[in-house]
Structure 1
Amino acid sequence: MSLPARRPFRRLALLLATAASLIVPAALADGVDDYILGFMQRTHTPGVALAVVRDGKVEKMATYGVADAFARTNLEPSHTFQIASATKMLTGVALGRLEQAGKLSLDDDLRRHFPDAPDSWSRITIRQLATHSSGLEDRLGLGPDATTADIVAAAMKTPLAYEPGSRSRYGFTDFVVLQALIEKLSGEPFPAALRTWALTPLGMVESGFSTETNGTWTDRAAGIHVFRDGRQARDDFGYTPAGYAAGGLLTSLNDLVRFAQAIDKGDALPAATWQRLWMVPPFSIGKPGDFAIGWTKRDLLGHVAVGHSGGPALADILRLPDDRLTIMVMTNQRWLYPMLADGVAARYMPDRARMLPDDRPEMAERLRHALDSAARGTMDKTGFTEEAGNGMQGFFNDFGSALLTAAGPVRSIRLMEKATTPDGGDRRRYRVQFQHQSMVWLFSLNAAGQVDLMRPASDSTPLLP
């Protein structure tokens, strides 16, 4: 049904969103609709699919706009979206179920499953692969046609980039090796193995990969778009089958709801196993780790949050375990910053994060000035170190521009945390309230008073390295 135009803004947003449709009754239309439709208007996003599940019950399920900006096909909950790196969550589920079946332990070293691997692989565990802390090198010198076996063989011949477990580096090789492992243990190609060990147990019957031919996920796929230079265009963003464990799954809103409900009901895995998948192991040097088993983990508004984005914003999936709340957003516009799930979450839960009195308001004003100047088109790098200034200018020339377009002007900046850096600088975490979105930013001055760090972060990103 069409969304009722209750206010002039909603009428304009509805037209710009191109025949938005809702699955929920019109009586349940709320501020989330305004947020999504406004986001679509500002970012030229043809279609958005959204679901909110709390304790196994669907609180909101809606599609807005079109599946394809050129075919003008209204978006439906059965349309499949490319969720890119959010696929890693399902790979994590497969690992959890394989462990339950006794086929592996997350603490197995790789030589147990790859006996021809070099001695260095005996220092790498499956858990480290899944948490991006294996030390495997991504620069293997292979072309785009390399197979899973080619990549694994090249990784075996390449020295480790760092000591396993000492740090993390988000990359591709880790999950290609996981793909080879899952194929070996299951006796199936990865698409079939993921279906056996994750998708089917989760009830995800409308999901699959583009190379599969016996399903509806390809026929019902929403187109991928990119808006640049004032016009909408198609985008052929995709994944090679060699790395499907890292990304490339097509899934529907219907299936994501089933995914969330399976977590709440403990259908595919018991609650204790989900908690294990969401644990972030510390590094061997004693510092907190960065990633869970195929999932990310952070704090959001004072709540524990797990999930993954992909595309970077074709999919944005957020689970709040303590609140038993799952928010799932998919779009068909690739040139976005992953922020929609956070924005929806802020409309469903209170902000419990503690704020501090700001003893250096001039620092907050410098952050505001940098953001305001970037929103006008060119960030003012005055007072930045060369490295920090060039880095942020590059960010705002890329996805940072999409972030500021979607978020709107800065309204307020509040201090959350502060620390002194080893070189005597002042590093701070701020809650930046934009017109349409609340976000966390890190901002730091070195001992000489120059800005040496500025970037979006989370409530729990470590202030100090």
Structure 2
Amino acid sequence: MIFPWFHAALAGVLMSAAPVHHRIESFLDRTLPPGPGGTVAVARDGRLVHCAGFGLADREARTPARCDTAYDVMSITKQFTAAAIMKLQMMGRLRTTDRLGVHLGPVPAGKRLITVRQLLTHTSGLRDLGDDYAPVSRDTMVRRALASPLRSRPGAEFHYSNVGYSLLAAIVERVSGSSYERFLAEHLFAPAGMTGTGYVLPRWAPGQVAIEYDKRGKRRGAPTEHPWAADGPYWYLRGNGGMLSTARDMYRWHRALEADTILSRRAKAELFAPRVPIDRKAKVYYGYGWGVLPRSEHGRVTEHDGGNDWSFGEFARFPDKGVMVFWITNQAYREGKWNLEDINGELTPGLVQALGA
């Protein structure tokens, strides 16, 4: 979720005054083999200094990837769910210290101590349940999650839990009386000026949504073409992944988090607090929907990545330096040739150098 060596280097090179646009494009041209498409965005001091695509968003239609191409941002979705919980707390509708039974009804004895905060920090002990695209309703997901055996005692250990974030999305609906996506659209995305982020509510232009490709280069379709309900993904994915967004919207989200547009300073302090150690040696923690590196050579770092069988992306912020980086690809793997999840070991370091060379 967070790679300290990458972020320390990146923050440093972004402080240089040299332009980055052509270096990034040149690096991607040299480094990426034919196949993947994607988008890279970099912001500094409130300004979007680079936002451009590479490769094709749709190979069959020969549609190039662009700054405003929409992608499945995968587990980066979790930060939106966490922000929705913080917004509801600001509205006085819930508290992160609430136990599940306050919002989800009767809870089995072994899970009665689980809190909203433990869902946010992956310390609930809950196990993931099934395939992202299984046709599961909200109430079925909640029932199965609460009936499943725990991996560990609530609050005792960090275990990354997608179902925990789906439960948070269910709590958003129960508490707000609105659908999960509509609550996010009205209280997070619209105030931030994000017009291309959501499941089914945004009106994307024809060809705007990137097509995903598997490791053999087979077309897997747009995210919205996977098995979904009429109002978005089924509930093993909803709230923990599957959100579509654009690089420009992710920049707008960054700007909203820099200001108090969406969340108060107090809410953001709670959101980004380093609560649960992920890597004690590297001093990396998990907050609410974010990986947090409290101290580095270049200050605080907050980050989350996302990946599935086809795509991979990362969103990183350096609040002390006013820097944001977002990148994403529509084909993360290629059989026998490359693996763009090794983006952290090959593409990412090269991108860092290109940004500062």
State TM-score, norm by structure 2: 0.78
2:27 pairs with 1:35: yes
Q: Give 2:210's aligned residue.
A: 222
Instruction: Report the residue type matching 2:287 in the other structure.
Output: A
Residues 50 and 253 in structure 1, CA contact (< 8 A), matched pair in contact too: yes
| Match in the other structure for 1:204 | 194
1:311 paired residue among 278, 294, 307: 307
* Residue identity in the other structure for 2:346: A
Distance 1:257 1:318, change over 3 A: same
Letter in 2 for 1:307: E
List, as ranges, runs of 4+ consecutive aligned residues in structure 1 with deviation greater than 6 Å: 140-143, 286-289, 396-401
Q: What is the aligned counterpart of 1:271 among 265, 271, 284? A: 265
Secondary structure in 2 matching 1:261: helix
CA contact (8 A) 1:167 1:289 kept: no
Which of residues 314, 324, 347 is equivalent to 1:326?
Answer: 324
Aligned counterpart, 2:12: none
**Deviation string for 1:247-300 (max 9, x for gaps)?**
0111112211211111222211233422321113247xx998842111122379
Mapped to 2, the partners of 1:219 and 1:62 lie a distance apart of 16
Query: Is the Cα contact below 8 Å between 2:42 and 2:50 reproduced in 1?
Result: yes
Q: Indicate if the aligned counterparts of 1:98 and 1:197 stay in contact, CA closer than 8 A.
A: no
Equivalent in the alignment of 1:418? none
1:46 and 2:41 aligned: no
Cα distance between partner residues in 1 of 2:36 and 2:131: 37
* Aligned-residue offset at 1:401: 8.1
Checking the alignment, whether the CA contact within 8 Å between 1:140 and 1:155 is kept in structure 2 is no
Quote the Cα distance in structure 2 between the aligned partners of 1:62 and 1:92: 28
Whole-angstrom distance in 1 between the partners of 2:132 and 2:331: 29
In the TM superposition, 1:380-399 aligns within 5 A as none
Partner of residue 445, structure 1: none
SS in 2 for 1:216: coil
SS at 2:286 equivalent: coil
Read off the aligned partner of 1:215 and give its amino acid letter.
R
| 3-state SS of paired residue (2:54) | strand
Answer 1 or 2: higher relative contact order, Cα 8 Å, separation at least 6. 2
Preserved contact between residue 67 and residue 73 of structure 1 (Cα < 8 Å): yes
Matches within 5 A, 1:436-455: 436=350
1:353 counterpart residue number: none
Give the secondary structure class of the aligned counterpart of 1:315.
strand
Question: Does residue 262 of the first structure (1) align with residue 236 of the second (2)?
Answer: no
Equivalent residue in structure 2 for 1:293, among 271, 279, 288? 288
Q: State the identity %.
A: 24
Relative to 1, partners in 2 of residues 1:154 and 1:399: Cα closer, same or farther, differing over 3 Å? farther
User: Does structure 1 retain, via aligned residues, the 8 Å contact 2:129–2:145?
Assistant: no
Gaps of 5+ in 2: 1-18
Check 1:140–1:163 CA distance in 2 against 1; reply closer, same or farther (3 A cut). Answer: farther
- Residues in 2 aligned to 1:329 and 1:64: alpha-carbon distance in whole angstroms: 11
Which structure 1 residue ranges, 5 or more long, are not aligned? 1-26, 337-395, 409-432, 440-465
What is the identity, as a one-letter code, of the residue corresponding to 2:251?
V
Task: Note closer, same or farther for the CA distance 1:88–1:217 as it changes in structure 2 (3 Å cut).
Answer: farther
Name the residue aligned to 2:3.
none
State the shift of 1:184 in Å.
0.6
Q: Is the radius of gyration larger for structure 1 or structure 2?
A: 1
SS where residue 235 of structure 1 aligns?
Answer: strand
